[in-house]
Chains A and B, each alone.
Chain A
Amino acid sequence: MLIITKKNAPEEALDQVKEYLVNNGFDFHQSTGADRTIIGVIGDTHTLEESIISAMPGVHQVVRIKADI
């Protein structure tokens, strides 16, 4: 799963997303760009609620990686 932030999302919003991931037992890789940050969630994310993350402040888009068929 990839979490893409809104442009210039505040640090506090990012912290909230990352804290949610960590509290749910997930690791993440953060990649900070010029005005957006991409958070790659590591692990089997089928238990993660996309809608909860999408609704968090500072989140622009949540992209779930399709399972291989």
Chain B
Amino acid sequence: MDINEIRKRIDLLDDVLLRIFNERARLALEIGHHKKLLDLPVYDPSREKRIFARMKEDNPGPLDDGAIVRLYERVIDESRRLERIMTQQEEQEEC
């Protein structure tokens, strides 16, 4: 493959990642909704640790475990933020 072909493949993967990130975010919002109904906290450190551990365990490389953790930190930080915003909006609507 030449450089342009490789870049095209990366672009295609980025499109897939974008869809997956948003699908994951939608599911996180659903979780947030359930947490609110069950009166559970948005921040669940044990769940986050389990995600990191599972991703490191299943990591085939070439990204090392540290890189996987840093990438997932971003994903989880944004999921948590989204959950919190949704919870606040629902609380405002209830008032």
Binding site for B on A (CB under 8 A): 11, 15, 18-19, 22, 25, 27-32, 34, 42
B81→A22 contact, CB < 8 A: no
**How far is B45's CA from A30's CA once the two chains are assembled, in angstroms?**
12
- Contact partner, A29, options B42, B49, B74, Cβ 8 Å: B74
Q: Is B86 in contact with chain A by the CB < 8 A criterion?
A: no
Within 8 A of A (CB), among B27-55: 41-43, 45, 49
- Contact partner, B69, options A19, A22, A29, A32, Cβ 8 Å: A32
Those 10 A-B pairs whose CB atoms lie nearest each other, nearest first? A22-B43, A27-B81, A15-B45, A30-B73, A29-B77, A32-B69, A19-B43, A32-B70, A30-B77, A31-B70
The A/B interface has a contact count, at CB < 8 Å, of: 30
**How far is B73's CA from A55's CA once the two chains are assembled, in angstroms?**
25
Contacts A19-B43, A28-B77, A29-B74 supplied; 10 other A-B pairs, CB < 8 Å = A11-B49, A18-B43, A19-B45, A22-B43, A25-B84, A27-B77, A27-B84, A29-B73, A32-B70, A42-B81
**How far is B69's CA from A30's CA once the two chains are assembled, in angstroms?**
10
- B interface, over-half SS: helix
Q: Is B66 in contact with chain A by the CB < 8 A criterion?
A: yes
State how many residues of chain B have any CB contact under 8 Å with chain A. 14
CB distance from B21 to the nearest CB of A (A): 16
**How far is B49's CA from A28's CA once the two chains are assembled, in angstroms?**
16
**How far is B45's CA from A67's CA once the two chains are assembled, in angstroms?**
31
Chain A residues positioned under 8 Å from B42 (CB to CB): 22
**How far is B50's CA from A11's CA once the two chains are assembled, in angstroms?**
13
